[in-house]
Amino acid sequence: MLKAVLTDIDGTLTDPSRRISTQAVETIRELTDRGIPVILASGNTACFMDAIARMIGTDGTFIAENGGVYRIGRTGQLRIRGDQDECWEAFSLVNTHFREKGIALELFSPTYRFADVAFGRTVSSDEVREVLAGSRVRVIDTGYAIHLQSPGISKGTALTGLAGELGIPLSEFLAIGDSVNDIDMIRTAGTGAVVANAHPDAKARAAYVAEKEYGAGFVEIIGYYSSYFRER
């Protein structure tokens, strides 16, 4: 049986223009009203996640910064994992490298990030990895930003932490995503599914691959597993 849903946002609930699917929002609200927690997971900041959780209508539980931060409910304390100092040290190396080439990097919301460092995809993530070849810091290209993150941190590790606090076994989570940074949460949850536009590596690790893309695919997945859900 399934008791909770963990879902990525960009590329899973949104289309290529980053417009969120109203069908997906309605489906999430229906699940929430039935007492089935829906947890939003993203590389975005906690501030952004708090706002979108309220607008969509979940109970406020979310995973931010690709697993570096998570929160239980709307009033819970932020759980911050990883060492942002080492991420800033790594960014300094990367920034110096590209500045010498005449390229300025655009930091994304540095004031509101607590676990990682993110910047625009104006440079090659492969080149960033080459610069940081001797560093412990991971380079994550989500397709929307390049993130520098401490090792051992992912949406999957955050899922393990919040599942314990929620008292819901990992086996009773349905995780839905589309990108390579969703793979760990798909493998960690009892059941993993992806929308049709998902990366091939994510599809290879999913128990179910939707026929439809983006938000419509999310709705399809929930419909496919509807008989597996048990209300808390």
Question: Model confidence over 36-57: pLDDT tens digits?
Answer: 999 999 999 999 999 999 999 9
- Is the confidence at residue 232, as pLDDT, over 60? no
- Is the confidence at residue 231, as pLDDT, over 80? no
Domain with CATH 3.90.1070.10 in the chain: 84-149
Could you list the beta-strand ranges (E) of 17-72.
38-41, 62-64, 69-71
Taking residues 102-124, report their average pLDDT: 96
Residue 113's pLDDT is 97
pLDDT above 90 as % of the chain? 96
Residue 230's pLDDT is 75
Assign domain 84-149 one CATH number from 3.40.50.720, 3.40.50.10860, 3.20.20.140, 3.90.1070.10.
Answer: 3.90.1070.10
What does CATH list as the number for 4-80+153-228?
A: 3.40.50.1000
- Of 8, 10, 178, 182, the catalytic one is 8
The model's confidence at residue 100, banded by pLDDT at 50, 70 and 90, is: very high
Could you list the beta-strand ranges (E) of 35-180.
38-41, 62-64, 69-71, 79-80, 117-119, 138-141, 146-149, 173-177
Taking residues 99-124, report their average pLDDT: 96
Tokens of 76: 């819970």
Q: What's the pTM value of the predicted model, to 2 decimals?
A: 0.95
C-alpha–C-alpha distance, residues 193 and 195, integer Å: 7
8 is catalytic: yes
Domain with CATH 3.40.50.1000 in the chain: 4-80+153-228
Taking residues 142-158, report their average pLDDT: 95
Tokens of 61: 């539980």
Q: Which helix (H) or strand (E) holds 7?
A: strand 4-8
Look up residue 53 and give its amino acid.
A
- Is the confidence at residue 162, as pLDDT, over 60? yes
C-alpha–C-alpha distance, residues 103 and 44, integer Å: 24
